[in-house]
Amino acid sequence: MGHMKVTVLVENTVGVPLGLLSEWGLSMLLDFGDERILFDTGEQGSVIPNAQALGLDLKQVDRVVLSHGHYDHTGGLLKLLQHRGKVPVYAHPDLFASHYGRGFNGQGEQYLGVPFRLERLESAGAQFHWHSDPVELRPGLWLSGEIPRHTAYERIDDRLIAFRDGEAAQDNIIDDFSLFYVTDTGLVVVLGCAHSGLVNIVEHAKRLTGEKRVRAVIGGTHLGPANPEQQEKTIDYLRALDLACLAPNHCTGLGMLTRLAAEFPRQFTWATAGNVLEF
Ligand SMILES: [Fe+2]
Ligand SMILES: [Fe+2]
């Protein structure tokens, strides 16, 4: 199987002294040599100047994959389209579903969904491909499809809500996607926010691809806001995976990042803006 180079373009923090901007958000460029796939677009559009500062040309992005509809993963999409022009965009059909939050910093209800209308994005060049089932995007690279939720201890952040018939309910974020890359030495699991639960996602990756060895887990784990039971059980699960690389970022949060760095001293890798990971 080929080679995948992951460059973190946008993240909550900046890791290299090259004039990059940080955002509360995530965007990573996956370069396969013959194809470049942009996974998420960050919050505000820093994806464009950050790529430039890193010597990367986003006009050469061949496809965009959106992990879910939250604004911190989709907010840079319009600027990306204005820069890139027509490009295929892969997402779940519920990308634009009701995504709200409540109680962040004592605030009331806030809209957290895609900050653009579908028509606006399409007129700027987005060619949406809607999937709810898994798709092999290229040999060895899988778009997860909807993640089956089996674990009892992985719960969606209860500050994330949706409105159905005017009533607030837990947002189950059915549009939560990850990417799975099969390599000769095992799976690389690329998370957006892991709202479905890291363990559910990795178990789905193993079932879907038939590859039982997990080489790397990278991206947003959402472990920071998780309850202590979920945090401990997920750390136990990660320990049993025998990973070569653990590169959490974004909604993992600084507290859990330092904890994971201490628990996995050999595997832990920073994945802040500007960092590059090769598989
Ligand atoms: Fe996020
Ligand atoms: Fe999210």
Note the ligand closest to the C-alpha atom of 157: 2
User: pLDDT tens digits, residue range 13-72?
Assistant: 999 999 999 999 999 999 999 999 999 999 999 999 999 999 999 999 999 999 999 999
Angle made by CA atoms 193, 198, 203, in degrees to the nearest 5? 135
Instruction: Provide the domain count of the chain.
Output: 1
Looking at residue 140, what is its pLDDT? Answer: 97
40 sits in the region (left: phi over 0; alpha: psi -120 to 50; else beta) called left
- 268 Cα–ligand 2 center, Å: 22
Which burial class, exposed, middle or buried, applies to 216 when counting CB atoms under 10 A from its CB (0-12, 13-18, 19+)?
Answer: buried
Identity of the amino acid at 235: I
CATH number for the domain spanning 102: value is 3.60.15.10
User: pLDDT tens digits, residue range 154-187?
Assistant: 999 999 999 999 899 999 999 999 999 999 999 9
- 198 Cα–ligand 1 center, Å: 14
User: pLDDT tens digits, residue range 5-23?
Assistant: 999 999 999 999 999 999 9
- 18 Cα–ligand 1 center, Å: 24
Q: What is the token pair recorded at 244?
A: 């070569």
Strands 87-91 and 63-65: parallel
SS3 272: coil
- 26 Cα–ligand 1 center, Å: 7
- pTM for this entry: 0.97
Instruction: Identify any residues that bridge with 181 across adjacent strands, giving them in sequence order.
Output: 141, 188
* Domain boundaries, position 269: 5-278
Catalogue the E-assigned strands of 84-204: 87-91, 100-102, 109-111, 126-130, 135-138, 141-143, 160-164, 167-170, 179-183, 186-191
